[in-house]
Amino acid sequence: MKAVFLGLLLAISSLVASAHEMRPSIASLSVDSQGVLKLELVTNMEAWLAGIEPSLPDTDDSPNSAIYDGFRSLDATALESVLQDREPDIVRLAKVVAGGAPVKMTLSSVRVLPVDDSELPRDTELTFVGGLPSGAESIVYRVDDTIPNTAVRLFLQKSEPRVQFVKTGRESDELSLDQAVERSISAIALEYIELGFIHIIPRGLDHILFIIGLSLISRRLLDLVIQVTAFTVAHSVTLALGLYGVLEFPPSIVEPLIAASIVYVAVENIWHNKVNRSRAVVVFAFGLLHGMGFAGVLADLGLPERDFVVGLLSFNAGVELGQLAVILVAYISVGVWVLRYPWYQSRVAVPMSLLIGVVGCYWFIERVTG
C-alpha cells in the first residue's frame, strides 16, 4: 500500500517540471485549383533543433534540455534566422506522397508564433509548397520521426476539412482529393473522440490534477457523480460558446485561473473531510474555466463546418472518457484499498491535496509572471 501511495506522490510531484510541455503538432494540407499542394506545419522547432525525443512529455526530461532552453531564450527573429539556415534539413519534414511517389516540397516561409509566457512552449509555423503529379487522386502524409504526434488536416476548396491524429513516425490514411468524397459521421466522431481523450491523457496534466482533487474526499459515489456532472455540463457550455465565438478570453487569463482552481480544490480538501453542499456550485464555476481551455485546443485543430455538432460532441465525449479513466485509475490505485479506513483523510487525502496544491501554486505563479 505504501508503495502505491508513494508512486502516486512521485507521479504528481513530477508534474511540477511541466513548464516545457511537449504538445502535439498540427499539419494543415490544402490543394488549390492549379494542383499546388501547401503544407503548414505548426510544431515546437526549439525541441526539434535541440534533438528532444518527441515521445517525451516534457523537454526537461531530455538530456538536451539545456540546449532547448538556449533556443527558447532566442527572440522570434533570431530563431527564424537559425531555422532558415537549416532549410535543407527542415524540408525533409514535409513528407507527402501522391500517386505512390514523394511530392517535392520547398520551404516557403518560417514564422515563429507569438506566445505571452516565455516559460510556455512556443510553436513555429513552417509553410511548404509543392506540385502534385497530374491525375493524383489522394495523398498520404507521414509524420517525421523527430516530430511529436500530429493532427493532420486536409482542406479542399469545396469540401469539409478532414482531420486525423497520426503518431510519430506513422503515415496518415489515404486522404482523397475527390471533392465528392464524404466521410461518414462515425469516422468523424471517432477522430474527435480520440483527439478529446488525448487532450486529457496524457496532455491535460492540469485537468488530471483537478479531477484527482475532486475525487480525494468524495467518499460516496453520489458525491463524485454530482461534481463530475457539474464539471462536465459547465465545460461543455463554455466549450461550445467559445467555438461559436460568443466567449473569447485570452490564454493569459484562462490558464492562471485553471491553475487557481486546482489550488482551491486542494485547500478545500485539507479543511474538509467530506464534500460540502456548495462544492458542486464551485466546481461548476471552475468547469466554465476549463471549458475555455478546451475551446482553445479545439479551435486550433478545427471542426468540420457541416458536421460541427458531431465534432464538438465527439471531442467532448473524448474528454469525458479521459476524465473517467483518471477517476477509475485513482479509485483502483488508492480508493478501493484505503477509502474506508478512518486514517484515510490524514494519511492520504491531506498529503496528496498538499502536493496537488503546491503544483497548482507553482503553475499559477509561472503562468502569471511568465
Confidence of residue 299 (pLDDT cuts 50, 70, 90): confident
Least confident of 77-81, 120-124, 244-248, 350-354: 244-248
**Angle at 127 (CA atoms; ends 122, 129), nearest 5 degrees:** 165
In tens, the pLDDT along 52-103 reads 998 887 787 889 999 999 999 999 999 999 999 999 999 999 999 998 899 9
Contacts of 297 (CB under 8 A, 6+ apart): 199
Beta bridge mates, 36 = 131
Q: Is the pLDDT score of 158 beyond 90?
A: no
Q: What percent of the chain has pLDDT over 90?
A: 30
Per-residue pLDDT at 18:
43
Closest CA to 228 of 359, 334, 319: 319
Per-residue pLDDT at 2:
43
Domain coordinates in residue numbering, the chain = 23-182, 198-369
For 62-65, which contacts have Cβ atoms below 8 Å and span 24 or more sequence positions? Answer: 65/20
Confidence of residue 252 (pLDDT cuts 50, 70, 90): confident
Looking at every residue in the chain, the average pLDDT score rounds to 83
Annotate the chain with three-state secondary structure.
CHHHHHHHHHHHHHHHHHHHECCCEEEEEEECCCCEEEEEEEECHHHHHHCCCCCCCEHHHCCCHHHHHHHHCCCHHHHHHHHHHCHHHHHCCCEEEECCEECCCEEEEEEECCCCCCCCCCCEEEEEEEECCCCCCEEEEECCCCCCCEEEEEECCCCCCEEEEECCCCECCCEECCCCCCCCHHHHHHHHHHHHHHHHCCCCHHHHHHHHHHHHCCCCHHHHHHHHHHHHHHHHHHHHHHHCCCCCCCHHHHHHHHHHHHHHHHHHHHHCCCCCCCHHHHHHHHHHHHHHHHHHHHHHHCCCCCCHHHHHHHHHHHHHHHHHHHHHHHHHHHHHHHCCCCCHHHHHHHHHHHHHHHHHHHHHHHHHHC
Confidence of residue 179 (pLDDT cuts 50, 70, 90): low
Q: Is the pLDDT score of 167 beyond 80?
A: yes
Q: Is the pLDDT score of 1 beyond 80?
A: no
